[in-house]
Amino acid sequence: ISSSAQRLSVARFSSLRRASLRAMTSHIVGYPRMGPKRELKFALESFWDGKSSAEELQNVAADLRSSIWKQMAEAGIKYIPSNTFSYYDQVLDTTAMLGAVPARYGWNGNEIGFDTYFSMARGNASVPAMEMTKWFDTNYHFIVPELGPDVNFCYASHKAVDEYKEAKALGIDTVPVLIGPVSYLLLSKPAKGVEKSFSLLSLVDKLLPIYKKVVSELKGAGATWIQFDEPTLVMDLEPHQLHAFTEAYSELESSLSGLNVLIETYFADVPAEAFKTLTSLKGATGFGFDLVRGTRTLELIKGGFPSGKHLFAGVVDGRNIWANDLASSLGTLQTLEGIVGKDKLVISTSCSLLHTAVDLVNETKLDNEIKSWLAFAAQKIVEVNALAKALAGQKDESFFSSNAKAQASKKSSPRVTNEVVQKDTTALKGSDSDHCRATNVIDRLDAQQKHLNLPILPTTTIGSFPQTMDVRRVRREYKAKKISEEDYVKVIKEEIQKVVKLQEELDVDVLVHGEPERNDMVEYFGEQLSGFAFSANGWVQSYGSRCVKPPIIYGDVSRPKAMTVSWSSMAQSMTKRPMKGMLTGPVTILNWSFVRNDQPRHETCYQIALAIKDEVEDLEKAGVTVIQIDEAALREGLPLRKSEQAFYLDWAVHSFRITNCGIKDTTQIHTHMCYSNFNDIIHSIIDMDADVITIENSRSDEKLLSVFREGVKYGAGIGPGVYDIHSPRIPSTEEIADRINKMLQVLESHILWVNPDCGLKTRKYTEVKPALSNMVAAAKLLRTQL
C-alpha cells in the first residue's frame, strides 16, 4: 500500500495527535479491512491457493492495519478502533477468541491458527464450513456460532490484545472493539442435535469469564477505552433478552472498573424499552447510536440521557457513499451538545465503515461533479473530524463551504432531476390503482397454456449459463472499445445460439438465452439506465474475500432505450420453443445499489419500476411471451424491526406489480428469488401476483412446506429448485426424481415446475450438461407416473 499516510513519519503524527487530543473528540466505529484496492482479498486467495505463505498474508494484513490506524491518527480521530480488522469475519474472530470451535474441526485446544480458523470459515477437504448468514440488514455475511449446553469456552485467540499492542507500538492508542457478549449469544444458533428447550442465553455465565480475561489483558496492555458492539439492541427483543444485558454487564462491572466502556449500537434506533436498559447498564461510560438510520434516536436522547455519560453520536453514514450534509449534522450535534454537555459529546459514524467503499481517491472514472457528492470511508473519517473540530470552535470554513456547495449542486443539478420522471412518479402515486393484472392467475395460466402447450412438470432454468473465459474476455474487450460492436454482437450471438441448441438437445421446455452479455444482473441494467454511476474501486465486503461493487443511484431513473429486447428477440428467433425474456426487478436493483438519500427509497424504487415496465412492454411487443423478472434481493431489504416491515413489503410488492400490470393475459410473468425462508412474507409473495415463481430450495425442503400449502390456494406455478447450483456435484436422475416426488406430496402436479436453484453462471459446462440432462430425465420419468 503506497498511501500518503504510510509515508507520514510516526513522529509527525504523534505530534498531530497530541494537538488533536486537546481540541476535539471524534470516533470511528470500525473500518473496512479489504484495503483500497482489495489487497486483503488477493492476499487471502493467494494464500488459500497455496501460492503464498502465511507470513506473506500476515504482512499484507499488518500493512493494511497500520495504514488505517495512521490514516485515522493523521486525520485527528481521537478514538481509533482496533480489532476491527479480520481475516474473514469479526463474529468468527469472536468464536475463536472464545474457543467455541465445533468439535468436527478437530481443534487441538491451542491458540487458534489459520488452519482451524479458515476451516470453520470455508470448510476443508473433510468437513464443510460453518453456516453463514446476513449481518442484520446489510449485505455483509457472518459465520454463525454453533453453541450447545456442553460448550467449553476458553481463551483461544489473543487477537484483540495483539492488535491493541501492535497499534501501540506504532504510537497509536486505540479503542479495542469486541462483539458484546449478549449480541454474540443472540446471533448464535443451537448446535445440531441440541434440545429445543435449550436457551443460548443460558450460556452467558460460562462466557463472561473469558470476556473478563480479555478485558484484564487489555487493561494490562494499557487500554483506557474498550468498545462492546451490541447491535442486537436495535432489534425487537423480548424482556428476558433485555434482562440478559442488565445481568451480563452487572457481572462484568468490577472487571471493567478503571476502564472507559463504550457500548455501541447501530443500524436502527434502539427501541424505547431497550434504550432504558442500555443507558442503565453497569460499567458503561458511553453509548453509541446510529443517528442516520435511527430516525427516533434524537427523540430518545431528548427524552432522557444519563448525566455524566458520553454520547457517541453516529451522524456520518457508514452504510452509504454520500458526502455528509455537514451543516445539517452540525445542527443536530449542537442540539445534542445542549443535552449531554460539550465534554461528553463524541462525533462518530453511524456504524462501522465496513459497509461503505474504501477511498474515493482511487476513482478516476467518475467526473468531478459526482465525485464532489461522495465520501467513501477515508473521506468519512475526515468529515467526522471536521464536525468535531467545528464543535470545538475550530471550524474549517473552506471545508464546510465546499461541502455546502456540493450539497447545493446536487440539489439543483439537471443530472439529478428529470421532470418527466418526476411527473410520471407523481401520477403513479396519485392514481388509486394498485396496479394489479386484470385477470386472476388461474385464468391467466389457462390463457397462456393455450399457446405455450407445456407438458406437465415443465422444465426450465433460471437464466444464466456458464460464463466461459472467452465470453468474459470478449465482454471486457468490447467495454474497453478494443473490438467493434459488430464483432461483439457476432460472438454473443454465437454464444446464445450454442445455449439455445444445447437446451433443445436437452429437451428443456422453456428456454433462456443464457445472459452472456451480462457481467452482473444489476450492473447490466444500471449501465443502461439514466441516474446511475459506477465506481472503479467502490468495493464492499460481502463475505470472506468476496466483495461487491454496488452501482450508485444518484438521480431520477429513466430508460433512454430498450435494454434487452434485441438479445431476447434474437434468441426467440432461434427456436420454436418459448424463450424467456430476462429482467432484474426494481426492488433487487434498488437493494443491490447505493441509493440516493435525498428522497425516500420507495420513490427511487417506483422510478426503477416504471423503467422496467417499459422494458416488459417492449419485450411483449417484440413477441416474447414469457418474461422473468428476478427479485433475488426482495427479502434482503426487509427492515430489521417488525413495525417497519409492512410498509416496506407494501411498496416493494407494489413496485414489482407496476412492472407487469399492463400486459396481456397470454404473456406469462415469472419471478425468481434466491432464497426460500419466506414463511413470514408469504402473503407478500402472493401479492406479487406472478404467474410462476422459481425459488431456491435445495437446502431447506421442510421450511418450504407451509409456503407451498399457501401456494396451492394461490394457484400460480412454483418451481422450487431441484438441485443446488452452488456445488459442482452432479445430482443423479433418481435423486432429482426423489426430490420432485417429495414436492408432489405437498403440491398439486399441475402447478409444479422443474428447475435448478438459481442461475448457472458460475458452473462449468461439464457440470451443467449432465445435471440438466438428469433433471429433464427425472421430469419425464415422473410425467409417466402421474
Interface residue list for ligand GLN (CB under 6 A)? 462-464, 515, 521, 582, 630, 632, 672, 674, 758-759, 761
For residues 388-447, which are near Zn ion according to CB under 5 A? Answer: none
Helix, strand or coil for residue 705?
Answer: helix
Provide, rounded to whole angstroms, the least separation between the CB of residue 758 and ligand GLN: 5
Helix, strand or coil for residue 342?
Answer: helix
Of Zn ion, ligand GLN, none, which one does residue 521 interact with (CB within 5 to 8 Å by kind)?
ligand GLN
Handedness of CA 204, 208, 214, 218 (dihedral sign): positive
Kindly state whether residue 587 participates in binding Zn ion, applying the rule CB under 5 A.
no
Catalytic residue among 240, 243, 435, 726: 726
| Main-chain dihedrals φ then ψ at residue 59, nearest 5 degrees | -70, -45
Q: Choose between 143 and 634: whose C-beta lies nearer to ligand GLN.
A: 634
For residues 625-684, which are near Zn ion according to CB under 5 A? Answer: 632, 674
DSSP bridge partners of 347 = 26, 313
Of Zn ion, ligand GLN, none, which one does residue 76 interact with (CB within 5 to 8 Å by kind)?
none
**Range in contact with Zn ion (rule: CB under 5 A) among 55-63, 578-586, 750-758, 769-777:** 750-758
Helix, strand or coil for residue 229?
Answer: strand
Using CB atoms within 10 A of its CB, is residue 595 exposed (0-12), middle (13-18) or buried (19+)? buried
726 is catalytic: yes
Cα–Cα dist 670/717, whole Å: 9
Question: Considering only residues 261, 381, 388, 758, which one is a binding residue for Zn ion as defined by CB under 5 A?
Answer: 758
Provide, rounded to whole angstroms, the least separation between the CB of residue 164 and ligand GLN: 40
Q: Choose between 211 and 656: whose C-beta lies nearer to Zn ion.
A: 656
Contact 346, 364 (CB under 8 A): no
Provide, rounded to whole angstroms, the least separation between the CB of residue 762 and Zn ion: 11
Helix, strand or coil for residue 553?
Answer: strand
Q: In what order do the strands lie in the sheet with 580-584?
A: 580-584, 626-630, 668-673, 692-695, 717-720
Cα–Cα dist 618/640, whole Å: 37
Q: How far is CA 45 from the centre of its chain?
A: 21
Q: Quote the cell numbers at residue 262.
A: 463504550
Provide, rounded to whole angstroms, the least separation between the CB of residue 656 and Zn ion: 16
Neighbours of 220 (CB within 10 A): 9
Cα–Cα dist 314/297, whole Å: 10
Q: Choose between 235 and 707: whose C-beta lies nearer to ligand GLN.
A: 707
Provide, rounded to whole angstroms, the least separation between the CB of residue 455 and ligand GLN: 23
- For residue 649, how many C-alpha atoms fall within 13 Å in the half-sphere facing its CB? 19
For residues 253-312, which are near Zn ion according to CB under 5 A? Answer: none
Kindly state whether residue 760 participates in binding Zn ion, applying the rule CB under 5 A.
no
Contact 378, 300 (CB under 8 A): no
**Range in contact with Zn ion (rule: CB under 5 A) among 240-248, 499-507, 650-658, 758-766:** 758-766
Of ligand GLN, Zn ion, none, which one does residue 761 interact with (CB within 5 to 8 Å by kind)?
ligand GLN
Provide, rounded to whole angstroms, the least separation between the CB of residue 468 and ligand GLN: 15
Neighbours of 411 (CB within 10 A): 10
Of ligand GLN, Zn ion, none, which one does residue 582 interact with (CB within 5 to 8 Å by kind)?
ligand GLN
Provide, rounded to whole angstroms, the least separation between the CB of residue 780 and ligand GLN: 23
Q: Choose between 264 and 630: whose C-beta lies nearer to Zn ion.
A: 630
Of ligand GLN, Zn ion, none, which one does residue 523 interact with (CB within 5 to 8 Å by kind)?
none
Q: Choose between 254 and 700: whose C-beta lies nearer to Zn ion.
A: 700
Residue 234: CB partners within 8 Å, gap ≥ 6?
A: 136, 265, 266, 267, 268, 269, 270, 271, 274, 290, 294, 640, 641
Provide, rounded to whole angstroms, the least separation between the CB of residue 658 and ligand GLN: 20
Q: Choose between 515 and 523: whose C-beta lies nearer to ligand GLN.
A: 515
Of Zn ion, ligand GLN, none, which one does residue 269 interact with (CB within 5 to 8 Å by kind)?
none
Q: Choose between 346 and 632: whose C-beta lies nearer to Zn ion.
A: 632
Cα–Cα dist 359/362, whole Å: 6
Contact 80, 72 (CB under 8 A): yes
Q: Choose between 146 and 630: whose C-beta lies nearer to ligand GLN.
A: 630
Cα–Cα dist 785/722, whole Å: 18
Contact 434, 656 (CB under 8 A): no
Place of cell 392467475: 441
Helix, strand or coil for residue 772?
Answer: helix
Give residue number: closest CB to ligand GLN: 759
Of ligand GLN, Zn ion, none, which one does residue 464 interact with (CB within 5 to 8 Å by kind)?
ligand GLN
Provide, rounded to whole angstroms, the least separation between the CB of residue 679 and ligand GLN: 20
Q: Choose between 538 and 759: whose C-beta lies nearer to ligand GLN.
A: 759
Of Zn ion, ligand GLN, none, which one does residue 630 interact with (CB within 5 to 8 Å by kind)?
ligand GLN
| Catalytic residue numbers, as ranges | 726
- What does the binding site for Zn ion look like in residue numbers (CB under 5 A)? 632, 674, 758
